[in-house]
Amino acid sequence: MATAKEEFLKEFGEHYGYPNGPKTIDQIRATEFNRLQDLVYLDHAGATLYSELQMDSVFKDLTSNVYGNPHSQSDSSSATFEIVRDARQQVLDYCNASPKDYKCIFTSGATAALKMVGEAFPWSCNSNFMYTMENHNSVLGIREYALDQGAAAIAVDIEDIHPRLEGEKVSTKISLHQAQRRKVAGLQEGEPTGDVYNLFAFPSECNFSGLRFDLDLAKIIKEDSSRILGTSVCKNGRWLVLIDAAKGSATMPPDLSKYPVDFVALSFYKLFGYPTGLGALIVKNDAAKLLKKSYFSGGTVAASIADIDFIKRREGIEELFEDGTVSFLSIASIRHGFNILNSLTVSAVSRHTTSLALYTRKTLLALRHGNGSRVCILYGRHNSVEMCHEMGPIVSFNLKRPDGSWYGYREVEKLASLSGIQLRTGCFCNPGACAKYLGLSHTDLISNTEAGHVCWDDNDIINGKPIGAVRVSFGYMSTYEDAKKFVDFVTSSFMSPQNHVHNGNQLKGVNGSLDTCYYLKSITIYPIKSCGGFGARSWPLSNNGSLKHDREWILKSLSGEVLTLKRVPEMGLISSFIDLSQGMLFVESPHCKERLKIRLELDFYDSTVQDIELHGQRYKVYSYSNEPNAWFSEALGRPCTLLRYSGSNHEFVLDKTKDVVSCKDTDSAVSFANEGQFLLVSEESVSDLNKRLCSDVHMGVCGTAMKVNANRFRPNLVVSGGRPYDEDGWRDIRIGNKYFRSLGGCNRCHVINLSLNAGRVQKSKEPLATLASYRRVKGRILFGILLKYASVNGEQQQGDSWLHVGQEVHPD
């Protein structure tokens, strides 16, 4: 029987790999991307990876040559001058642009190149800025310059321009979406007073869908604009064409000998990973002459007089547009990247990456749940293999449950990261493509924004619709194994083979039988948020019902953010202990010789009470003299200050919630803000997890080292008795004579993967990866429950305000 790889090679083998290059794909991965190890990196549309050999060459280059400022006259500056000149030529060659017709202006990135065009374009009130719906925000932003000058901005869809346009009438194939015009004081639309210039902008490859645009569009727009666009849009005037090739050029640079494009924006980290912060605008000479540069600077000015309006700008196009000193060391580095692409040949890179994308699309499209419904909805064009060739190496999709509801893309991202797969989710800075493929209307988009959705946040499904997608994208060094691991991950984590709802809304909790007897096994107090806590046989509750002194102190960085275990894992190595009879908090760290003593009584504090803002709320806090601050700064190897909550109940209520309730990473917003006072885990659930950790076959050997202790979950209370996950079903709970209410499961993040042993922090994928395999509810990975002290009939609870280890726990 053929292996999966043989099957793949049978179908895609002629496109896969670099049989004619200096190394095979497997050799490239083994020798030049050794650092990847088992990591599956699938965000090449975000940034591709640099090769280790490339970096060696850059290092050798920079350490063996002396590069001076290219504007100076020394030998080292002429070395720089030459290398910059050669680099320009290399960029032009990459796009097959004749140096007679085109110039290469270096910029700080593709965005800067696009902005330069927008800023200097000869807009007038009769101009049009027309752009395709599928465009990066950095292109859409040009419209602000256009509108400011009274020009019209028009979004178009060119969905129907394929297949090839030769000889066909195309006037019906472009649909205008929207034309807007801003009222600009002092400008009036009217008869053209001079030449009118219009700009048409589109990406060579959409960074959302992977759709490759036909560059013939450039020719059609320039030569036949009124036929396509209708005379209402274009009165007279000349059309210039801008291509955003930031994404597309990594595998298919635009051929400027064939297409009459005026401007092309590029970014080098998208081509070969390094350097970042460097891009280029390739500009046609006659288009460059139309641009109006306003700012002048060192580098762009030949002569100027300080106190009167006199300047003489430089003549050369590059010199005129490159303000200041170009990033000459980065520019010197790009040839080492081009060397790689040229040795493989960019056409082989395109075939190779396309074969991986085709395989991935095909496999994802074929996935079905046990009930026959589709697992994966792909965005873009892939109705036929032929169509697929119009797609770059991007696969964008969302996943569905057997019942047709959507998995949130954040869930996919979180689980992928646990499987060592790095991908990208959201709208990828391409709101037009996002709206188009996800079927979001303007009203949806506006109400999403009003519902608080902004880029980067955690709301991935609103009103039952995904508002972003999952994107995997391939680079020249991606392998079949990367693609295979990814599709295997989707299959194992999201496909449900049986005809039942996989990862449904309910965890299967087994209710404890009547004679089950639960008891309190341990009590842990964490005085300083995110630092180690201590166990107590008995501990008092404070007035509001949380454990006294629990998370009463926090550490704050110099920039004002509260330090958390997630960002500063070393905090877990700091241990603390409170002796109530002495009225002292003792703190120890492997990095400090002396242990720190802090008196619990208030008179020790500095007199100043500060106001700090935490998660959008203001708190009154006490600050400390220098001694504790110096101690913690040494313990953590970073400057920080200790603060203590000064509220009547001495609690960082909200803050504590963040630590306990949210356990929040990229997941959905906290729903119990202010409420989770205690975190409870059950010993039986921990044992069950440990059994699974050890039986997991693909984990290889299992030793005791794999096992986790209940402390890993930073619980306040550990209970014992009964069966694993009984606690899921609890609502009202009595411990001794105190009543508590469950707020539901605690959503877990990778903080539980930090092991803090023998003064060292180690990170792994466990136990979160295993929990994710069986404790997932709506994108959250639950373990343990959150409790809130309950008032009885609105009354404060009476009696002894202590909890004691050994007390019975009664879920009522």
Ligand X SMILES: *Cc1c(COP(=O)(O)O)cnc(C)c1O
Q: Which residues of this chain interact with ligand X, rule CB under 6 A? A: 109-111, 136, 138, 203, 207, 244, 246-247, 267, 270, 279
Contacts with 217 (C-beta within 8 Å, 6 or more apart), sequence order: 158, 161, 200, 202, 241
- 475 vs 271: CA distance, rounded Å: 9
Which is closer to ligand X, CB of 124 or CB of 396?
396
Amino acid at 311: I
Are 89 and 79 a contacting pair, CB within 8 Å? no
Which is closer to ligand X, CB of 206 or CB of 782?
206
Are 77 and 251 a contacting pair, CB within 8 Å? no
For residue 696, how many other CB atoms are within 10 A of its CB? 15
Which secondary structure element, helix H or strand E, spans residue 78, and what is its range? helix 75-94
- 300 vs 313: CA distance, rounded Å: 6
533 phi-psi bin (left φ>0, alpha ψ -120 to 50, beta other): beta
DSSP calls for 473-513: E--TT--HHHHHHHHHHHHHHH---SSS-TT-S---PPPPP
DSSP calls for 150-214: T-EEEEEE-GGG-S--TT---TTS-EEEEEEE---TT----S-SS--EEEEEEESB-TTT-BBPP
CA 498-500-506 angle, to 5 degrees, is: 135
Residues facing residue 641 across a β-bridge: 556
Distance separating the N- and C-terminal Cα atoms of the chain: 58
* Orientation angle between helical segments 409-418 and 480-494, nearest 10 degrees: 120
Nearest-approach distance from CB 394 to ligand X, in angstroms: 10
How far is the CA of 181 from the CAs of 188, 199, 215, 235, 677, in angstroms? 11, 15, 28, 15, 54
The tokens for 426 are: 């959201």
Nearest-approach distance from CB 112 to ligand X, in angstroms: 7
Q: Which residues are catalytic?
A: 429
The pair phi, psi for residue 378, each rounded to 5°, is -95, 150
Nearest-approach distance from CB 384 to ligand X, in angstroms: 25
Which is closer to ligand X, CB of 8 or CB of 321?
321
Which is closer to ligand X, CB of 109 or CB of 466?
109
Pairing of strands 152-157, 128-132: parallel
Which is closer to ligand X, CB of 249 or CB of 503?
249
> By CB neighbour count within 10 A (0-12 exposed, 13-18 middle, 19+ buried), where does 757 fall?
exposed
Which is closer to ligand X, CB of 48 or CB of 542?
48
N residues, the chain: 812
For residue 216, how many other CB atoms are within 10 A of its CB? 15
Would you say the C-alpha torsion 366, 369, 373, 378 has a positive or negative sign?
negative
For residue 126, how many other CB atoms are within 10 A of its CB? 22
- 316 vs 326: CA distance, rounded Å: 15
Are 727 and 685 a contacting pair, CB within 8 Å? yes
The pair phi, psi for residue 586, each rounded to 5°, is -110, 135
Which is closer to ligand X, CB of 213 or CB of 239?
213
Which is closer to ligand X, CB of 140 or CB of 562?
140
Residues facing residue 718 across a β-bridge: 522, 681
Which is closer to ligand X, CB of 139 or CB of 528?
139
Can you point out the beta strands (E) in 488-583? 518-525, 534-536, 538-540, 553-557, 575-579
- 585 vs 548: CA distance, rounded Å: 12
Which position has the token pair 């046609």? 284
Amino acid at 666: T
Which is closer to ligand X, CB of 217 or CB of 636?
217
Which is closer to ligand X, CB of 140 or CB of 153?
140
Nearest-approach distance from CB 729 to ligand X, in angstroms: 48
Which is closer to ligand X, CB of 109 or CB of 432?
109
- 81 vs 666: CA distance, rounded Å: 46
How far is the CA of 405 from the CAs of 43, 426, 622, 771, in angstroms? 26, 18, 49, 22
Helices (H) and strands (E) in the chain, counts: 22, 38
Which is closer to ligand X, CB of 271 or CB of 467?
271
